[in-house]
A and B are shown apart, each in its own frame.
Chain A
């Protein structure tokens, strides 16, 4: 027991525990449960000694096959191997089957969860498009993480949702991949679409050749993440090279990353399809003169993590002490970003809590929406800002260029002066504000209607059944 305790201690990374406690604790619990699983389920069959009759038989056969005896001519080198009596994966698989239900699903979407977020919003668009093309009952959604899915209720009516992660959560990743693969092999759906599920990525990586025999495999990717050294990381970097040959298509919501992944990793550009997400809320174009009071404000909204650059926001707010900043957002798990304390202390910054709908935090005295970030796909919050008629100031990262003209965007995410210059221009020039607003409305109305999206979905061969019907 003491040895096991020290074995556990050796596996704990204090650095990781501080940086990402949820992931590290999950990893430790996974290791611990696997140990328990092994101890509790492995029972050897039979006696651990070779019976006398078999020793005689082995010696008798050695004249036919010399390799049967050890170097000193005896059958004494054989170790007993007990066939493991492991039943837990089978039991969990049975439970999974009963949850899935006896239906010949044709389309399976695999997600880590369904929570508030851009990828989740995209997943729902795909599901809605599917549900318009086929009976919703033919669609199965597998949620592979154990977390709560606050947006599960937004799945189209009739679509079956199974919380795979909660059912298989006591197993390690290898076991989860085994059961995911078995389920997909047995279901033989026409289409499997993975959006950000690591379990599904692993299944495709390890068993993609088999999976693609009966199913067309699709994935959605949005952008890279970056580690502390700004090395690009994430599912694309980790899995695309080993999986692409088994994929029918890779969907991306922006045009920038397919080119980048193709150029930097050699993945054929033809495998990517740029799938613009629709803007699904009503856009009421503002036609007022966009006048501002004498003390205009700037809106910032997002996550307080290093990707969204609270430090750049801080520097901009410090450089514009005469302008008020409304900062809405949520902190992520782990240590607070160092800029947050200073940001909270600035007299021209008001820190608000999380928000539900973007349009509810927009005020008539906001001159602009400031979007700071180091890397992006196409953040859906920019679509919200455009729909709200609020001019966006943002860096030219990732797919932002798909929505906003390159000339207006700030070249470098760290360039505080350029951000400040654009914000100052918007505050002082009503014509520029109106112009930016109109340009954003135009971008929003170009290829981003529901019909546009549905047409694009139906044009992908074999992706949506009854395409165009």
Chain B
């Protein structure tokens, strides 16, 4: 059966925090199913520790039809690509293993996507960052808010959770970085740039929120910041990219 929506969640070493995240995602899945949206869950455990794996496998809200991939890729981009390859939905929604979403996140994204063009990438309207810092920000909608490609060399206006037609991810796959080994990083920022360079338009879905956990330590972003990584080569910053 082909699904309307594939939700790809990547887990690493979230431990007990993965429980709340999966609870949030599975509840949003329930609402989507009730709205008639055939939804599959692809749960990717990339080098997950035992506690995280246990939290996922024994989660009380699992229905039993979720795909669980246990991999040893060691890279956020490759883990996401692997999950997307497993997916069969018309749309793919990527999420991280320690965050949460507003309850009708999937419903509203699918509804918005059905009325939007094919070359769009959707994001939640608002990101609530909680934990080590407590912030909220409105994500950038290319068509309705101030936007310039020139922004992207300095800032990634979007979080890593994205929603798009599945073929978008085949056209622009995530690029492996292995930050500690290569000094390259920010695979999500790279993907934002690469998709803009490929002509996709990033939009936001009104009335949706992504709850982004900011850890005190141990997150990929914190490690990347501390070792000083830089985005890999990107079409957007090559000749013609910013034109």
Contact = CB atoms under 8 A, between A and B. Distances in A.
B50 interface: no
Contact of B129 (A81, A82, A91, A213): A81
Given A78-B134, A78-B136, A185-B233, A90 B150 contact: yes
B237 interface: yes
Contacts of B102: 54, 57, 61
Interface in A59-93: 60-61, 64-65, 67-68, 70, 75, 77-91, 93
Given A64-B100, A81-B135, A90 B233 contact: no
Contact of B151 (A47, A70, A87, A185): A87
A208 B228 CA distance: 9
A209 B183 contact: yes
User: Which applies to chain A's interface (DSSP): helix, strand, loop or mixed?
Assistant: helix
Nearest to A66: B20
Interface stretch (B36-44, B77-85, B153-161, B166-174): B153-161
A209 B227 CA distance: 9
A58 interface: yes
A68 B183 contact: no
A185 B235 CA distance: 11
A182 B137 contact: no
Nearest to B209: A54
A77 B133 CA distance: 10
B140 interface: yes
Contact of B24 (A53, A61, A82): A61
Contacts of A182: 153, 230-231, 237
A381 interface: no
B97 to A, nearest CB: 13
Contacts of A185: 230-233
B220 interface: no
Interface stretch (B68-76, B111-119, B141-149): B141-149
Interface in A16-72: 43, 45-47, 50-51, 53-54, 57-58, 60-61, 64-65, 67-68, 70
Interface residues of A, number: 53
Given A45-B137, A186-B238, A210-B230, A65 B157 contact: no
Given A181-B230, A186-B233, A90 B137 contact: no
B242 to A, nearest CB: 5
Contact of A207 (B27, B130, B155, B183): B183
Given A57-B102, A78-B136, A213 B128 contact: no
Interface in A339-356: none
A97 interface: yes
A90 B242 contact: yes
B52 interface: no
Given A61-B103, A90-B154, A102-B239, A211 B131 contact: no
Interface in A99-113: 102
A81 B182 contact: no
B23 A210 contact: no
Contacts of A47: 138
A94 B183 contact: no
A324 interface: no
B94 interface: no
B64 to A, nearest CB: 21
A155 interface: no
B164 interface: no
Interface string A173-208: 000001101100110100000000000000000111
A210 B182 contact: yes
A54 B128 contact: yes
B152 to A, nearest CB: 7
Interface in A197-234: 206-214
Given A58-B128, A93-B153, A206 B228 contact: yes
B128 A85 contact: no
A93 B137 contact: no
B11 to A, nearest CB: 16
Interface in A228-266: none
A80 B150 contact: no
Contacts of B157: 45, 83
Interface in B21-46: 23-24, 27
A53 B105 CA distance: 13
Contacts of A70: 134
B93 to A, nearest CB: 17
B184 to A, nearest CB: 5
Given A64-B20, A68-B130, A81 B154 contact: no
A210 B183 contact: yes
B31 to A, nearest CB: 12
B162 interface: no
8 contacts: A45-B138, A46-B145, A83-B140, A87-B150, A89-B154, A209-B229, A210-B184, A211-B183
Given A61-B103, A87-B151, A207-B229, 17 more contacts: A45-B139, A53-B207, A57-B103, A64-B100, A65-B130, A65-B211, A68-B128, A78-B129, A87-B150, A89-B150, A90-B242, A97-B237, A182-B237, A185-B230, A210-B230, A211-B183, A213-B184
Interface of B: 20, 23-24, 27, 100, 102-103, 126, 128-131, 134-140, 145-146, 148-155, 157, 182-184, 207, 209, 211, 213, 227-234, 237-239, 242-243
Ranked 6 nearest A-B pairs via Cβ: A90-B150, A46-B138, A209-B183, A210-B183, A87-B150, A81-B135
Interface of A: 43, 45-47, 50-51, 53-54, 57-58, 60-61, 64-65, 67-68, 70, 75, 77-91, 93-94, 97, 102, 178-179, 181-182, 185-186, 188, 206-214
